[in-house]
Chains A and B, each alone.
Chain A
Amino acid sequence: EAAVTQSPRNKVTVTGGNVTLSCRQTNSHNYMYWYRQDTGHGLRLIHYSYGAGNLQIGDVPDGYKATRTTQEDFFLLLELASPSQTSLYFCASSVPGQGNERLFFGHGTKLSVL
């Protein structure tokens, strides 16, 4: 089973604070993704990347930056956190292909912005 590890598991910050969420995959997958999960909205794509140094914009990118430093590591940055960014964040990875590839998810990071 492919392995995706997220840290921290829980994070509390204040409005205007600076937060970095980390994700590491050891599957040699090209693609990595950041999603946020909110009740009533399901999973929404924030940013994704197909390799080190690459960044693609997802559906809900406002207020978020991301950086892919290596094949294994993908970071999500909230530079001025707001209460609307309180959410459960998931990182995922996959291989590229023709549409039939599954995503492998981490256990998630629960972020609270007070």
Chain B
Amino acid sequence: QQKVQQSPESLSVPEGGMASLNCTSSDRNFQYFWWYRQHSGEGPKALMSIFSDGDKKEGRFTAHLNKASLHVSLHIRDSQPSDSALYFCAARGMSNYNVLYFGSGTKLTVEP
């Protein structure tokens, strides 16, 4: 069983709309969460990190973390066609800071 689960598998939103992606962990050891984005034909790139309870905003992107429920979400407002990509949630635990575990990904399509 994967340690990081993502939902939905795929998501389609209209241009200018809000996209919401979810991630949960089954391991209470995980304390550090990341979102990575992968455009077609490229390697994943780090989008943003969140380590504290609450919201973290970076431009049109807002991440939310609830450590008690081990739930992380990513919200993209005013979605653009260039946001169409595969989004991965990833987590690290206190037992080994240097290993990053990834979820299975959410494919986001922003329709013009």
CA distance A13 to B60 in the complex (A): 44
B34 CB contact (under 8 Å) in A44, A102, A107: A102
> A105-B44, A107-B43 given as contacts; is B104 within 8 A of A42 (CB)?
yes
Q: Which interface class (under 10, 10 to 19, 20 to 34, 35 or more) fits B?
A: 20 to 34
Nearest Cβ distance between residue B35 and chain A, in whole angstroms?
Answer: 11
**Chain A 14-50, CB within 8 Å of chain B: the 1/0 string?**
0000000000000000010101000011111100101
A102 CB contact (under 8 Å) in B49, B94, B105: B49
Is B98 touching A50 in the complex (CB atoms < 8 A)?
A: yes
Is A99 touching B44 in the complex (CB atoms < 8 A)?
A: no
Question: 29 pairs across A/B with beta carbons < 8 Å?
Answer: A31-B98, A41-B104, A42-B102, A42-B103, A43-B44, A43-B90, A43-B102, A44-B102, A45-B99, A45-B100, A45-B101, A90-B44, A96-B97, A96-B98, A97-B98, A98-B97, A99-B31, A99-B94, A99-B97, A100-B32, A100-B51, A102-B46, A102-B49, A103-B44, A103-B46, A105-B45, A106-B43, A107-B41, A108-B42
Tell me whether B92 is interfacial, beta carbon within 8 Å.
yes
The interface on chain A, measured as residues whose beta carbon lies within 8 A of the other chain's beta carbons, has a size of 29
CA distance A40 to B9 in the complex (A): 8
The prevalent SS among residues of B at the interface is: strand
Nearest Cβ distance between residue B93 and chain A, in whole angstroms?
Answer: 8
A97 surroundings in chain B (CB, below 8 A)? 97-98
Interface centre among A40, A97, A102 (most CB of B within 10 A): A102
Is A42 touching B2 in the complex (CB atoms < 8 A)?
A: yes
